[in-house]
Structure 1
Amino acid sequence: MEEIFTKIKPREYQEKIFLTCLERNTLIVLPTGLGKTLIALMVTVQRMKDFPGKKVVFLAPTRPLAEQHLNYFKKNLPELFASMELFTGKVNPPERRKIWQTADIIFSTPQCVANDLKNRLYNLNDVCLLIEDEAHRCVKNYDYTYIAASYKQQAPTGIQRIIGMTASPGSEAQKIKEICKNLSIEEVELRSRISPDVKGYLQELEFEKIIVDFPEDFNKIRLALQKIIDNYIEELRARNVLFGAVNKIKLIELQRSMMASISRGNQNFGYFSAVSACSQAIKLQHALELLETQTLDGVNKYLKGLFDQASKKKSKGVVKLVASTEFNFIFEGVTELIAKGREHPKVEQILEIVKREKQENKNVKLIVFTQFRETAGHLSKKINEISGVTSKVFIGQAKKSNSKGEQTGLSQKEQKNIIEDFSNGKINVICATSIAEEGLDIPEVNAVIFYETIPSAIRAIQRTGRTARLKKGKLILLITKKTRDESNYYVSRSREKKMTSAIETVKKDLINNSRGLSEKNPQKKLF
C-alpha cells in the first residue's frame, strides 16, 4: 500500500475504517470533508491486489460527483495501476458494453448501471468491490437498491464486498436498518467531529445563532394567508378526505393519493373538487413558507405567477383563488411593503454578515445555503452591491422555470467554472441550494450560513461539513421568531442526536445477528 500512496498519508481513523472494510461489508458514516473517498481508494487498491483481474464499481448519485471521484483516483493512483472509466448516458449502450469488458474501475451514476443491468448489457459477476456514495439514498426503489441486489445475486460470494458511504444515514433506526439490509451491511463505522480519533485533525467550529423578529406588518399578511388556507382545509375535512394535523407535506401526499385514485377510474365528483381545493391549499402553504422564511421579493414573484396561471386558465381553482377578495388583499399588502422598500429582516442580516466577514478577512470565502433558487438569486444580487465582494449563484443542472417563466439551471461546465473561480478568489460568496450539500469538491470556506433552518439532519450535517476542517470556521444560522424556522431548528438538532443513538442500536443488532449466525454455522463466513 505504501508504495502506491506516495502523495497522501491516511489518518488514524481512516486506517481503522479501512481495516473494517476489508473484513466486512461496511457503512461508513463520516461528515463531509473527512476523507471517505480516500478510504474507498485504499479498499479499492487492496481488493484489486487480492482479486487480480476483477473490477471495482464506484457509484455516485450525480455525474459531476462520479467524475470527481474518478479524478481523485487518477490523481492519487499510479498511471498504469488500473484502467478507469466514467459511464454516462451520453455513451451509447454498445460502446458501454465494450468499455465494461476492458475497464478495471468504473465510475457511474446508479441510473446508468441499473439500466444496463436491466438491458443485460453486462453483469456484475466479476466485481470484487461495489461502492455506493451518498448511501442514505439506498432505500425503497432507488437504483442503488436494485444494483446491490443484482450484485449479491450475480457475483460469487467469495469475491463480494460492499461499502456504503454517507455523512448521515438519517435519524430513524428503521431507515438505517433498511439501508443496511439493502447493502448487506455487517458493520457500521460511525465518526463525528467530536470522535476521539477525529477531533484532533479538525479546527475549531464557532457557532452563531442570529434570531430576527417577524415584522408585524408581515404578520398581518400571514394571518390573511392562513385564513384562506384554513377555508380550503375545512372543505377537505367536510369531504372526508383529510384528517388530523395538517402541513404542506401531508397535503402533497393527499393530492398524490387522490390523483392516483382518479387515474384508476374514480369518477366521484367530490374527489375532483377536493383535488382542486388541495392544490390551492398547497400553493398558499408555499406562499406562507416564502413569507415566513425567505424574501418578500420571492413572495411577490410567486403571487404574480399565480395571477399569470389564472390569466392562462391553467385551472378553475387558481382562477377562483386569485379572484377572491382575501387573495387580492394579500397581494396588495405585499406590493405596498415592497413599494416602501421593505424586505425580510434576514436579507439585511446576510448583508451585515458578509460585510463583517469581509472586514475581518479580505480573502474570505462564504457559502450561503438556501432552499430556493429564487432566494439564492435575490441574495446574490444584493451581496454583489457590497463593495469588494463578488457573489455567484450555485444551483443544479435541472432546468426549472422561475416565477417569470425563465429557465434556470447551471450546466456542468458552468458549475465547474464557478467552483474554480471560488477556489482562486475571484468569487467571495456562493449562494447555493442543496446541490452544494452532497460531495462536490467545493473549497473549504470560512463560514457556512444557513439562510433558513432545515429539519433534515442529513442536510444539516452535509452543509456544516463545508467549514472548520483545515482552518477555523463558523456556522451561522438565521432564525425568524415565531415561524417554522424555530421548529425546524429544534427538529434538526433532535434528529442529529437521535441519529447517533439510532446507529448504535443498529450496530448492536448487527453484532447480535453476526453472533447468532456464527453459533449456528461456526465454519461459515459472513461475507
Structure 2
Amino acid sequence: MISSTPRDYQKAIFETAKNANTLVVLPTGVGKTLIALLLAIHRFQQYPTKKILILAPTKPLVEQHLESFKKQLPELYADLQLFTGEVPAKQRQKIWQTAEIIFSTPQCIANDIKNYLYDLKDISLLVIDEAHRCLKNYDYTKVVKAYKNQAPSELQRILGLTASPGSETEQVNEICKHLNIEEVELRTRNSEDVRPYLQDLEFNKIEVPFPEEFIEIRTILKSIYDKKVGQLKSRNLLFGPTNKISLLKLQNKLFASPHKDGNMLAGISVCAQAIKISHAIELLESQTLSGLKEYLQNLVIQAEQKKSKGVQTLVNSPEFKASLLSLNNLLSQKIEHPKVEELKTIIESEFEKNKNTKIIVFSQFRETALTISKKLNEISDVKSEIFIGQTKKSGSSGSSSGLSQKEQKRVIEDFRKGKINILCATSIGEEGLDIPEVSAVFFYEPIPSAIRKIQRAGRTARLAPGKLFILITKDTRDQISHYASAAREKKMYRTIDKVKNDIKDGKVNFQSRPKTLDDFR
C-alpha cells in the first residue's frame, strides 16, 4: 500500500495506536509521520465513509504532512485537502463535505467550528503533531474538546506526536488529559529498537573564556540590574533569589492584578527595566556584541520616542550611557564575542575535511544568526543563509525583520539542492520542518529547554554519522543553561516513564469516555 517499509519500532507503536489513544514520544527525524500514515490507512479502511484530520501548528508543517502522504499513498487513494488561513472559510466549508483526509492548522479548524461551518462528528482519527503544544488555551485543546464532544465515542481515536512533552509531570499529565491518552509510547536514540536505524552522534562541548574586555560592561549592567532588583525588594514586591524567570513571573502577576496602587504601578516600570537589563547581560555573555549594540540602540530610540517613562529612566542613567560608550569602544576595535571566531574556526576545519559538509547553526536570536551568517560567508566554499521566523520585530530592519513562508521554503529548497551549505537558524529550524539531514549541528548557546535540545540535535546522525557542537562561555549563564538542559532531559524520560506506568497501573485515567468493545478489537 505505501512506498516505505515501516521499521520495527514504527510497527510496534502503530499496533498500540490502533487500539488506544496514544502519545508518541520520538526524537526528531526518526519517522513519526509514517506512524500517523499507517494509522490513517487503518482507520480509513475501518471507517471508509468517515474523515481523518491531521493538525500541525504551522502552514509549512501542514504542507509537509500533505506532501508526505501524497508521496506514500497511491494516486486517488483518498481526497486529500489542505486547510490554511489562505483558503477562504466558505470554501473550507464546501471542501469539508467531500474531503476524506484533511491537513490543517488548529487555528483554522477552531475558528470554523466556532462559526458552525462544520462539526467533527465524522472524524475517525485526529492526529496532533507537536503535541507538546496541547496546553491551556492553545487551539489544539479547543479542537480536541470539540472532537470529544461531537464524535461518537466508538469513532474517536487520537494520536499525539512529539519529540518531547516536557519534563514536569503536571505538564505531561495535562497534555495526556487533553488528548484522552490511554497509552504512551516513548523511544529515545538509545532505545533497542531505534538504535540500529540511527548513526553515531559525536558530542563536542566547546568552552570559550569570558573576555576580560567585556568585564567592565558586565559590571556596569550588573550594577543597574542590582539597583532595580533592590528597588523591587524594598517595595515588598520581590523576595528571595532573583533571575529573569522570577522577574517575568512578577511582571505577569503585577499586570494581572485588578487593583493596581501606586506601589504596584511603580513596580511594573522597575520590573520591566530589570528584565531589559537582564536581557542585555544575556546578550553580552552568550551572544554577540553587535546584537547587544542593536538592542541597546533600540532602547535609546524608544526613549527618544518617549514610548515609556521606564525606558527613558533607564537610558538616561549615567551607568547605561557608560555601558554603551564602552561597547562602542570595543566594536570600533573590531572586537566581537569569542564564540563567533571559535565557530568560524571549527566550521573551516569541518569544510577542510569534507567540502560537501552541510551544517545547521542554531542560535537564540535572529541578530545573532545574522552576525554568524555574515562571518561564515568569509570562509571559501561556505554559502550561508539565515533561516528565521516571519514576525517583524519592532526596531528591526533588513534581513533581521523576518522571512515570509515563501522565503523560508526557498531557503530550505536551496539548502536541499546544495546552493546553501550552512543554515543559521533560530527556533523555527527546531520543530518538525523537513530540513535535509546535516553533517553537524552547532548550538551557538546551550538552551535550558529539553524539548528544544532534542529537536535541534535530531537534525543530524540519522542516515550518516553526525556531530553535535555546543558552544559555552565560561563563568556565565551559558554554563547554567547547559547543565539545566541535561538535567531536564533526564527528568523528562523519568516523568514519561512514570506517567506511562501510572496509566498501566490504573493510578491515573485520562479518559473522558467509557471504553467500548471497539477499544479491545
Judge same fold: TM > 0.5, yes or no: yes
Matched, 1:303 2:286: no
- Do structure 1's residue 505 and structure 2's residue 501 form an aligned pair? no
- Map 1:37-436 to 2 at 5 A: 37-261=33-257, 264=258, 266=260, 268-403=261-396, 408-436=401-429
Q: Does structure 1 conserve the Cα–Cα contact (< 8 Å) formed by 2:182 and 2:510?
A: no
> One-letter code of the match for 1:189?
E
Moved more, 465-474 or 352-361: 352-361
Contact 1:367 1:445 in 2 (8 A): yes
Distance change >3 Å, CA 523–CA 236, structure 1 → 2: closer
Q: Could you report, residue by residue, the CA deviation over 1:88-125 in whole angstroms, capped at 9, with x for unpaired residues?
A: 11222211111111100010111110111111111111
Question: Shift in Å at residue 386 of structure 1?
Answer: 1.2
Q: Structure 1 residues 226 and 516, CA, compared in 2 at 3 Å: closer, same or farther? A: closer
SS across alignment from 1:401: coil
Q: Which amino acid aligns with 2:180?
A: S
* Whole-angstrom distance in 1 between the partners of 2:467 and 2:515: 51
Q: Deviations over 1:285-338 (max 9, x none)?
A: 110000000001111111111111111112222222222111111111111111
User: Hey, which bits of structure 1, 4+ residues long, moved more than 4 A?
Assistant: 402-407, 514-518, 521-527
SS at match of 2:506: helix
- Percent identical: 57
Q: 1:516 to 1:278 in 2, by over 3 A?
A: closer
CA gap of 1:152–1:249, structure 2 versus 1, over 3 A, is same
2:219 and 2:20 map into 1 onto residues whose CA distance is 56
Tell me how far apart the structure 2 counterparts of residues 517 and 485 of structure 1 sit (CA, whole Å). Answer: 38
Secondary structure of 1:400 counterpart = coil
Kept in 2: contact 1:393–1:432 (CA 8 A): yes
CA contact (8 A) 1:64 1:412 kept: yes
Stretch moving more, 314-323 or 200-209? 314-323
What number of residue pairs does the alignment pair up?
518
State the Cα distance separating 1:131 from its structure 2 match.
Answer: 0.2
CA distance, structure 2, for counterparts of residue 159 and residue 28 of structure 1: 20
5+ long unaligned stretches in structure 2: none
Cα distance between partner residues in 1 of 2:516 and 2:487: 43
- 1:18-73, Cα deviation, whole Å (9 max, x unpaired): 11110111001000010000010010001000111110000000010001000110
Please report how far the alpha carbon of residue 401 of structure 1 lies from its aligned counterpart in structure 2 after TM superposition: 3.1
Structure 1 residue runs of 5 or longer lacking an equivalent are: none
How far the C-alpha of 1:259 sits from its partner, in A, is 2.4
Contact conserved, 2:361 with 2:444, CA < 8 A, in 1?
yes
Cα–Cα, structure 1 residues 154 and 522, in superposed 2: closer, same or farther, change >3 Å? Answer: closer
Match of 1:454 in 2: 447
Structure 2 contact 120–147 (Cα < 8 Å) conserved: yes
Question: What letter matches 2:301 in structure 1?
Answer: D
Question: Which whole-Å CA distance do the structure 1 matches of 2:397 and 2:84 have between them?
Answer: 33
TM-score, L = length of structure 2: 0.96
SS, match of residue 86 in structure 1: strand
Partner SS for 1:458: helix
The aligned counterpart of 1:23 is 19
CA distance in structure 1 between the partners assigned to 2:342 and 2:467 by the alignment: 15
The CA distance in 2 between the partners of 1:117 and 1:241, in whole Å, is: 43
Shift of 1:253: 2.4
CA distance in 2, matches of 1:461, 1:523: 37
Matched residue type, 2:142 = Y
The alignment partner of 1:169 has SS state of: coil
The aligned amino acid for 1:273 is A
Q: Which residue matches 1:490?
A: 483
Q: CA offset at residue 522 of structure 1?
A: 10
Aligned letter for 1:427? I
Summarize the Cα distance change of 1:471–1:272 in structure 2 as closer, same or farther, 3 Å threshold.
same
Residue identity in the other structure for 1:352: T
Distance 1:517 1:125 in 2: 21
What is the TM-score normalised by the length of structure 1? 0.95
